Amino acid sequence: MPRLTDKAWSPYVAGALIGLLQIPAFLFLGTALGASSSFVTVGASVAEVFDPGIRAIRYAAGHLDGAKNWWQVALVIGIALGAFASSRLSGAVRRGVAPVWQRATDLSRGGRFVLAFFAGFLMLMGARIADGCTSGHGLSGMAQLSLGSFAAVTAMFVGGILTATLLFRPVR
């Protein structure tokens, strides 16, 4: 039986439990699990303080208000809280930068921070172009047998494999 104080659960059990979260998403929200559109809601909300005109962009307006948009913002904040709780319960608390980066790259700590910022930018730009990320297209789109999601997930793996093999040293 998996315990709350374990550092790792079977990936099959943990993955299946994540899949079961589709039940409340579909029953209560009428939507599927997703993460990346919350970045638009947060970004556009901050931008609106400086640029109220952003509401004139229909895409922005569609992400600023409403229960579904703020449900997803709460969901991703919850992810941080849940991972915090789990890591404190098991003692697998992380500090600084993961050691894998030293093995895969020659970057200093500062260099890693710059790359992480650039990577985040690229990641969300791509997710918004594709209209979904690993959650929305991956977990949810594939579970709905959506052809667009099959295409997006395939492209995502191709992009990831090319980048990780061409730009990084082998991690082990």
| CB of residue 151 to another protein, shortest distance in Å | 4
> What's the closest the beta carbon of residue 144 comes to another protein, in angstroms?
4
Please name the residue that has the structure tokens 């093995």: 103
**In the complex with another protein, which residue's Cβ is closer, 106 or 133?**
133
Contact 19, 143 (CB under 8 A): yes
- Do 42 and 58 meet the contact criterion of CB atoms below 8 Å apart? no
Site size toward another protein, by CB under 8 A: 136
Interface pick for another protein out of 1, 52, 78, 108 (rule CB under 8 A)? 78
> Pattern of binders to another protein over 100-119, x per CB under 8 A?
xx-xx-------xxxxxxxx
Structure tokens at 167: 């730009």
- Binding residue (CB under 8 A) for another protein from 1, 49, 92, 108: 92
Site for another protein in 31-50 (CB under 8 A): 31-33, 35-36, 39-40, 42-44, 46-47
Label each residue of 4-34 as H, E or C: CCCCCCCHHHHHHHHHHCHHHHHHHHCCCCC
Judged by CB under 8 A, does residue 148 bind another protein? Answer: yes
Distance of CA 43 to the CA centre of its chain: 15
Q: Does 124 bind another protein (CB under 8 A)?
A: yes
Distance between CA atoms of residues 172 and 163, nearest Å: 17
128 part of the interface to another protein, by CB under 8 A: yes
